Chains A and B, each alone.
Chain A
Amino acid sequence: MEFDVQHLVELIPEINESFLQTLYMISIALAVAIIFGLPIGILIFITDKGLFLQNGIVNQVLGFIVNMIRSIPFIILLVALIPLTDFLVNTTIGPKAASVPLSVAAIPFFARLVETALRKIDYGVIEAAIAAGGTPWMIIKDVLLPEAKSGIISGITITVVSLVGTSAMAGVVGGGGIGDLAIRFGYYRYDDTIMITTVVILIVFVQLIQLIGDKIAKAVDK
């Protein structure tokens, strides 16, 4: 194994571009995961047995769909969703295209994390809000979300870190990204310099995300 600095300098523009592609894919997938995963997670929680919008059918159907998507290996999901990707973004290659399956995978993942965060709320607090005459919407907005805020932020952190890993597979559809660069140069071409550099970038990136995520989660907890 050798580390060639000259070679690294040559490839800096490519590394830069890959990193931006990773950021692009993760940002889109994260945004979509929050927009859809948050309500789904809340819905699964409040329709569960004993909760204030108990509804067996909704709960089980949502639970089934979430489990189903989560059980499909990402690489298969990536290919299987090509028609949907084409329909949504009018292309099947590039980072934009890779964002679609990444988002689809991230929604149920994040939804479960939201549900877990909500389950940690002391039921007595919810009961008190019901006794006070709170509407379901008020209970979600003024009780569930504030009480689970810290847990949900931790969930976002976990989702981002997981997306960093998953996005490495985006290369299959030409999505690019730093993970893809590591696979292309390190795995296929035995280019140690690029492999080591990209892995180090990924390690630092993930550590930073976790650090910032933990800091925010702690800061918002009163």
Chain B
Amino acid sequence: MINIHNLSKIYLTKKGKVKGVDNVSLTINEGEIYGIVGYSGAGKSSLVRCINLLERPTSGIITVDGVDLTTLKSEELRQARLKIGMIFQHFNLVSQKTVFENIAFSLKAAKVPANKINDRVEELLVMVGLSDKRDVFPGQLSGGQKQRVGIARALANNPKVLLCDEATSALDPTTTKSILKLLKKINSELNITIVLITHEMDVVKEVCHRMAIMQNGKVVENGNVYDIFASPNKELTKEFIESVISFELPDAILEKVTGTLVKVVFKGDVAGESVVSDTVQKFAVKGNFLHGSIDYIQDAPLGIFVMELTGDRAEIKEALKYIEERTAHVEVIRHGV
């Protein structure tokens, strides 16, 4: 649905050229929710703005639904934008217009006849759950409600793509959850491709199918969200994952640990605990769970445990081999003393 090829965006500043986006290539498939994660300044916001040409790329190609937007004339570009919805961190509603008028703006842009605008707005309000707020001004709405108006405005013309620029970053955790739920519903019911940029790994874990991690304008790692969570390659990726799934042990515990400290990752349906109990039975080792959890990413379980193995060194080695063969990943954090 969206093809990004060798895209660069260079900003000219007083200090010289700054590469906001540095030679990024990505493919976002139709119907998926794609997350782009990075700290602020990583270039994710510039990248997403290049998709609907709010910012013009310096070089490279972006095609949305097969159309290279950079080649379009201004009226054609405007037409193309009707099919690319966008929502923002600070909602960006027109404060002096009612909820109805804010949503109707998109429809007027698409030249929808006046007599059809009313019905369509009502329909959108039902979809985002704000039917009773039709004639209210944005100033009277909560953050979550404002974002719902933003979503209704973005979806008014049945777009194929919805771009979300830190759409939940200004919201509290409960509201974030409800907005994410709505985005998920939109994605599955309307088959709208969603590109979501965020610095919150939680958001990606909750809704995204695939993801990319950006740093200094470059994509450092990308792929299936589940796989990235199960086996991250880059330090930055690990850092982001640890922000939601942390296995840091308190120093007091670490001091007491004398055996080999290992982290075991179980994917999908592999029953983690049974592998460990088998191991303990098969080999002359003792296992001691220190930390662990099973997270559900896109409804698939991902188990990560931190445990201490004590026993004969050779036996531990054999045991690790046994576990490795049966699980997704085993990592020795610290060897026993």
Q: Is B291 in the interface zone, CB < 8 Å from A? A: no
Tell whether, in the assembled complex, residue B78 and residue A146 are in contact, meaning their CB atoms are under 8 Å apart: no
- When C-beta atoms are compared, the residue in chain A nearest to B86 turns out to be A131
Contacts of B108 in A (CB 8 A): 134, 138, 142
A-B contact pairs, 14 of them (CB 8 A): A128-B153, A130-B81, A132-B86, A132-B105, A132-B109, A132-B154, A132-B156, A133-B78, A133-B81, A133-B106, A133-B110, A134-B105, A135-B109, A142-B108
Stretch at the interface among A79-87, A104-112, A119-127: A119-127
Q: Distance in Å from the Cβ of A211 to the closest Cβ of chain B?
A: 23
Is the CB of B54 closer than 8 A to any CB of chain A?
Answer: yes
B81 adjacent to A131 (CB under 8 Å): yes
B153–A132 touching, CB < 8 Å: yes
Q: Which of A124, A128, A133, A147 contacts B79 (CB 8 A)?
A: A133
A143 at the interface (CB under 8 A from B): yes
Q: Are B95 and A129 in contact, with the CB atoms below 8 A? A: no
A96 sits at the interface (CB 8 A): no
B101: Cβ under 8 A from any A Cβ: yes
A138 vs B97: C-alpha distance when bound (angstroms): 13
Write the A176-208 contact mask toward B (1 if CB under 8 angstroms, else 0).
000000000000000000000000000000000
Q: Could you say which of A127, A138, A149, A220 contacts B92, with CB atoms under 8 Å apart? A: A127
Chain A residue nearest in CB terms to B140: A222
User: Does A214 lie at the interface of the complex (its beta carbon under 8 Å from any beta carbon of B)?
Assistant: no
| Contacting residue for B78 out of A125, A135, A143, CB 8 A | A135
Q: Is the CB of A142 within 8 A of B90?
A: no
Cα–Cα, bound, A184→B284 (Å) = 114
Which of A125, A127, A131, A138 is close to B93, meaning CB atoms less than 8 Å apart?
A125
6 closest cross-chain pairs (CB), A and B: A128-B92, A146-B96, A124-B92, A133-B82, A133-B109, A131-B86
Contact with A along B64-79 (1 / 0, CB 8 A): 0000000000000011
In the complex, what's the smallest C-beta–C-beta distance from B62 to chain A, in angstroms? Answer: 15
Residue B52 interfacial (CB < 8 Å): yes
Bound Cα distance A129, B163 (Å): 14
Q: Which residue on B lies nearest to A52, using beta carbons?
A: B74
Q: Is the Cβ of B78 less than 8 Å from the Cβ of A124?
A: no
A17 at the interface (CB under 8 A from B): no
Which one of B86, B97, B154 lies within 8 Å of A146 (CB-CB)? B97
Per-position binary interface string of chain A over residues 146-163, scored 1 when its CB falls under 8 Å from any chain B CB and 0 otherwise: 110100000000000000
Residues of B within 8 A of A222 (CB): 95-96, 137, 139
